[in-house]
Amino acid sequence: MAQLIAEQVLNGLQFGMTLFLMSAGLTLVFGVMGLINLAHGSLYMVGAFACAATAGATGSFWLGLVAALAAAAAAGALIERTVLRRLYARDHLDQVLATFALILIFSEGVRFIFGSFPLYLSPPAMLAGPVRLPGGLDYPAYRLAIILAGGVVAVGLALLIGRTRLGTRIRAGEADREMAAALGIDINKLYTAVFALGAALAGLAGALVGTLQSVQVGMGEPVLILAFVVIVIGGIGSIRGAFWAALLVGLVDTMGRFALPHLFALLTDTSSAAGIGAALASMLVYIVMAAVLVMRPTGLFGQNT
Amino acid sequence: MTRETALNLALALALPAFVASAYVAEEPFLITLATRAAILALAATGLNLALGFGGLVSFGHAAFFGIGGYATGILASHAQDYTPLMESPFLIEGTQAMLIHWPVGMIAAGCAALVIGALSLRTSGVYFIMITLAFAQMFYYFAISWPAYGGEDGLPLYLRSSFPGMNTLQPLPFFTLVFVVLILAIGFCGMLSASRFGLALHGARQTPARLVAAGIGPFGVRMTAFVISAMLTALAGSLFADLNRFVSPSMMSWHLSGELIVLVILGGVGRLFGPLAGAMLYVAIEHVAGGLTDHWQFFVGLLLLAVVLFARGGLIGLLAGERGHV
Amino acid sequence: MSEPVLKAGGLVKSFGAVVATDSVSLTLNDGEIHALIGPNGAGKSTLIKQITGELTQDSGSIEFAGKPLDGLTPQARARAGLGRSFQVSALMPEMSALQNVVLAAMVKEGGPYRFFRPVLAPGPLRDVAEAALDRVGLSTRAGARVAHLSHGERRQVEIAAALALGPRALLLDEPMAGMDPEGAARLTTLLEGLRHEAPILLVEHDMDAVFRLADRISVLVAGRIIAQGHPDEIRRDPAVRAAYLGDAP
C-alpha cells in the first residue's frame, strides 16, 4: 500500500512537472507581453509530432527531442512575428480569438500532414526500464527523467531570469515596455525570444509526454486548460507561482483519481460509488482553483492589483 | 430607418426565406441546417449579452449550453424509460414537454452562473477568461465521468420533445418554433439594451469607474447580465438536444465555448443581430467548405484571423458601420 | 455655524516607506468652494481617493453628511451624495451626453435594476438628466456621442453627471486641466454659481480659477497641509510662497 501511494505521488510529481513546462511559457508570455495565448497547446502538439516523426525516421529519441524544441520554437517565433505581435496592444477578446484561430489552423494543418491516426513514440532505450528506488519501489526511469527535466528547467529559468542579461531585459520589459525601449532594449527581438523560449518549453513538454500517451491532434487542449488552472492558482505572470501550482495540481489530480473512487467504495457500498468518486476526482483541481480564488483572487504568488 | 435596422430586418427575414425555399424544394436537410443556425444564434445571443454588452469575455458558455441540453436529455430519458427521476422526498417524473425542459434547464444554468459568476466576476480581464474556461471544463469532465446519463457516450433521445399544438418531429414546425424563440430572445435583448439596466451594463463595459461614480456597483450589474446570458444559452442548449435528439459532453467542450465567441465576433460584437449574422455565416461556411474539404476548419481559422486583424466590427460592422449610442 | 458637510480628520496613508498623506484634516461647509492646491506628488490624488473610497486610509476618519464613511464602497459613497469628476475625463465614450447623465441620475430615481422601459423614455429620470445638462449649458449637445464632444464639453458632461446624482457635495479633480483660457473662464463662471447647490472641494492647478473661486484654500505639500485659510491669507503666507507659489501673485 505504501509503495502504491509512493508511486502515485511520483506520478503526480511527473504530471506536475509537465504542467509546469506548459505553464512556464504561458505565464512568461502573459507576464512580459500581456498576451493570452490559447495556441500554446498547439505548440505542445507541434513538439510532440516533431519528436515522434523525427524519432520514427531516425530511430533516435534524442534527435526527436532536439527536433521538438526546434520545431516548437520556430513555430512560436513564426506566429509571434506574423500574427501575435499585432495583438499586444489589443484587448483580450481579440487575443483569444486570434489564438483560437491559430488552434484551428495548427490542428487542421497537422491533421493534413500526419492524418488523423495517432503516432506512437517510445522512450529512449536507456530510460526504457524501471529503476529500483530506495524502499524497494520499481518506478519507470523515463517518468523519473521527466521529473528531473522539470526540475532542471525550473532551476534554469530561475537562473535565466534572475542572473542573466536576457533575464534583466525580460524583467525590464515586464515592468515597463517604454522604459525598456528607452534603455535601448530591442523590444521586438526580446518579445520574439521570450515567445520562442516559451514555445520551446511547450514543445519539450509535448515531446516528453508523447511517449506516455499517443501523439494526436487535439492533445494540447486538455493540458492547456490545466495550465490555465495552474497559472490562475499560481498568480498570472509568476514563474515561481507556476512551479508550485503545477506541482499542486499534478499531485491533487493524480491522487484524487487514485484515491477518491476507493474512498467512495469504502464509504458506501452502492455500485455507483466508484463512478461518483471518479466524477468527483475529475472536478477536484477546479475545486482547488475555486478555493484558492476565494481566498486570494490574484493567485498564490500573484501581485494584488 | 438606419442602415443597421434595415440590415437587421434583412437578416431576420433571410432565414425564414431560406427555409421556405428549402420547403418548396423538398430539402428537409436544409431546413435542419437552418434550424441549427438559429439555435447557435440563440446561444450566441445569450453570450452576446455578457460579452458584447457587458464586456465579459466568457470562455465557458458551453457549460450553460450543455446544462440546457442535459436538462432536456435527463428529463426526456426518464420519460422514455418510465422511471421516476427521484422518488424521495417527493416524486419527480420525467417528461417530454419542452415547456418544462426549458425552465428547468434555464434555472439550472442560472444557478451555475451564479456560482461561477460569484467566483469569476471578482476578477477581471484574463483571469475571467481562464476561470470561466476552467469551470466549463469542470462541467465537461463531470459529464464525461458521470455514468448515470451516458457518460462519455452521451444520451440518445428517441423522440423530439413535445410542444403543445405542434408536431415537432417535422422539420418545418420545429424550425418555426426555434425561430420564434430566437426572435423573442433577440427582442428581449434589444429591450434590455435600451433599458436602465442595459445602460448600466453598457457602462460597466465602457468605463466602470464612471458607473461607480454614479453610485452603481458594477459587480451586481455584471452578475445579473451573466446569469441572464447563461439562461438564454441554456435555452439554446435545450433546443439543440432536441434538434440532434442526442446529448453528449461535447456540448460542454471548450471548443464549443470558442465557437460561440466566434459566432459573436463574426457577426459583430454587441450588435443585436450580430449572433444571427455570425451563426448564419458560420453554418454556411461549415456546410459549403465542409463539402469541399475535410480540413475546412483550417480556412475558418484563416478567416477568423482576418476578421480579428482587419475587420473588427464583424459582418454587421462591415455593412452597417459604427454602432449607435450605447 | 452648522456642521460641515464633509469632515476629514487625521488621514494617514502610506505606501511602503512613502507617506502619501500625513495626518491630513480638512472640512467642507455648505455653500463654499474649498480649493485644495499643491505641487504634483504632494498627495492630492491619494487624499481624493481616500475620500471617494478607492483607497482605505491607514488611520483617521471621514464623515460625510453627519455619517462616517468608513467601510463604505465608492459606489455607496456616491449614493450617499458624493458627486465627483475625474482628473482624466472618464465618461462612457460610446454613449450620448444625455445617456451619460441619465446613468448618474438613476440611483436617485429608482436604481438601475429596471429591465423593460426604455431608459430614455419621457419621465422624471430624463427630466433630471436634461435639467442637469441644461444647468451646465449643454442641452443642445444632449444627443451627441461623447467620443465626438470637445474636451471642454466633456468636462461639462462630467459636471452635469455629478449634478444629476443630486449631490450633497462635489469633488472636482482638476476640472480645468487641458482647457483653453476661454473654456476655463466659462467653467469658472459655471462653478461660481454651483456652490449653493452643493459645496465644492476643488483640486486645481489653475491658480486664476482657484483664487477667483475659492472661499478657503488648503495647501498640501509632501503629504501635509502647510496652510489653510482665506485666499488672501494663503497669498501672503510665507511658507506657501516658499514651498509652492514662488513669486506668483
pLDDT in tens, chain B (326 residues): 688 889 999 999 999 999 999 999 999 999 999 999 999 999 999 999 999 999 999 999 999 999 999 999 999 999 988 888 877 777 888 888 999 999 999 999 999 999 999 989 988 788 899 889 989 999 999 999 887 888 889 999 988 999 998 899 899 999 999 999 999 999 999 999 999 999 999 999 999 999 999 999 999 999 999 999 999 999 999 999 999 999 999 999 999 999 999 999 999 999 999 999 999 999 999 999 888 888 888 988 998 899 888 887 888 888 888 777 77
Residue B326 contacts C, CB cutoff 8 Å: yes
| CB-CB contact of A156 with A90 (8 Å) | no
Q: With contacts defined as CB-CB under 8 Å, which chain B residues touch A94?
A: 308, 312
Rounded to the nearest angstrom, the gap between the alpha carbon of residue B69 and the centroid of all alpha carbons in its chain is 11
Go through chain B and tell me how many residues it has: 326
CB–CB contact B196 C99 (8 Å): no
Is the dihedral angle over the CA atoms A71, A73, A74, A78 positive or is it negative? positive
pLDDT of residue C16: 85
Q: At what angle do helices A92-114 and B296-310 cross, to 10 degrees?
A: 150
- Out of B131, B254, B312, whose CB is closest to A232? B131
> How close does chain B come to C233, measured CA to CA in Å?
34
Strand partners, A133: A137
Structural domain count of chain B: 1
- What are the cell numbers at C13? 496613508
| Contact yes or no for B326 and C99 at CB 8 A | yes
**Domain membership flag for residue B81:** yes
List all residues of chain B from 114 to 133 with a beta carbon under 8 Å from chain A: 119-120, 122-123, 125-127, 129-131, 133
Domain containing B311: what range? Answer: 3-319
Q: In what order do the strands lie in the sheet with C200-203?
A: C82-85, C169-173, C200-203, C33-37, C216-221, C224-229
CB A197 within 8 A of CB A28: yes
Nearest to B55 by CA among B189, B177, B194, B221: B221
Judging contacts by C-beta atoms under 8 Å, the chain B residues touching residue A85 are none
Which residue of chain B comes nearest to A292, CA vs CA?
B119
The rounded distance, in Å, linking the Cα atoms of A296 and B119 is 11
Residue B20 lies in a domain: yes
Query: Which pLDDT does position B69 carry in this prediction?
Result: 97
pLDDT at C140: 94
The domain that holds B114 is classified in CATH as 1.10.3470
- Cβ burial, residue A82 (10 Å; 0-12/13-18/19+): exposed
Chain B residues near residue A87 by CB distance under 8 angstroms: 308
* DSSP symbols for C184-215: HHHHHHHHHHHTTTS-EEEE-S-HHHHHHH-S
Q: Looking only at Cα atoms, what is the longest distance across chain B?
A: 59
pLDDT score recorded for residue B211 = 96
- In sequence order, which ranges of A176-299 are alpha helices (DSSP H)? 177-182, 187-210, 220-234, 239-267, 273-295
Residue position matching grid coordinates 494617514: C12
The reply to whether C99 touches chain B by the CB within 8 Å rule is yes
Closest CB to A92 among B119, B125, B142: B125
Of B141, B296, B301, the CB nearest to A101: B301
| pLDDT < 70 regions, chain A | 172-180, 183, 269-272, 303-305
Q: How far is CA B125 from CA A95, A285, A302, B130, in A?
A: 12, 22, 14, 9
Q: Is B1 on the interface with C (CB under 8 A)?
A: no
* CB spacing of B134 vs A278 below 8 angstroms: no
Strands C59-64 and C67-68: antiparallel
Partners of chain C (3+ Cβ pairs below 8 A): B
| Beta strands, E only, chain B | 84-86, 92-93, 155-156, 246-247
- For chain C, what is the mean pLDDT? 91
CA dist C100 and C104 (Å) reads: 7
CA distance C92 to chain B (A): 6
Cα–Cα distance measured from residue B209 to residue B44, given in angstroms and rounded to the nearest whole number: 28
pLDDT tens string C121-154: 999 999 999 999 999 999 999 999 999 999 999 9
pLDDT score, position C249: 42
pLDDT in the model for residue A129: 82
Domains of chain C: 1-81+171-178+199-248 (3.40.50.300), 87-166 (no CATH)
Chain A nearest C-alpha distance from B324 (Å):
21
Q: Where are the beta strands (DSSP E) in chain C?
A: 6-15, 18-28, 33-37, 59-64, 67-68, 82-85, 169-173, 200-203, 216-221, 224-229
Q: What is the DSSP string of A31-90?
A: HHH----TTHHHHHHHHHHHHHHHHHHHS-HHHHHHHHHHHHHHHHHHHHHHTGGGGTTS
For A104, the closest of B119, B269, B301 (CB atoms) is B301
Using the 8-state DSSP alphabet, how is residue C65 labeled?
Answer: T
Instruction: Calculate how close chain B gets to A102, using CA atoms only, in Å.
Output: 6
- Would you say the C-alpha torsion B72, B11, B206, C85 has a positive or negative sign? negative
Structural domain includes residue B326? no
In this structure, are residues A288 and A249 in contact, taking their beta carbons and an 8 Å threshold? yes
Interface of C with B in 105-134 (CB under 8 A): 106-107, 111-120, 125
Amino acid in position B26: E
Q: How far apart are CA C175 and CA A28, in angstroms?
A: 41
- Position B276: which residue type? L
Give C3's DSSP letter.
P
Would you call B265 and A109 a contact, using CB atoms and an 8 Å cutoff? no
Cβ neighbours, 10 Å, residue B292 = 9
Query: What are the angstrom distances between the C-alpha of B55 and each of A131, B10, B152, C71?
Result: 53, 27, 33, 28
CA distances from residue B120 to A135, A292, B117, B128 in whole angstroms, order as listed: 45, 12, 5, 5
- Do chains A and C touch by CB distance (3+ pairs < 8 Å)? no
pLDDT the model gives residue A273:
72
Is residue C240 scored above 50 in pLDDT?
Answer: yes
- Tell me which architecture the domain covering A6-117+143-295 has in CATH: Orthogonal Bundle (1.10)
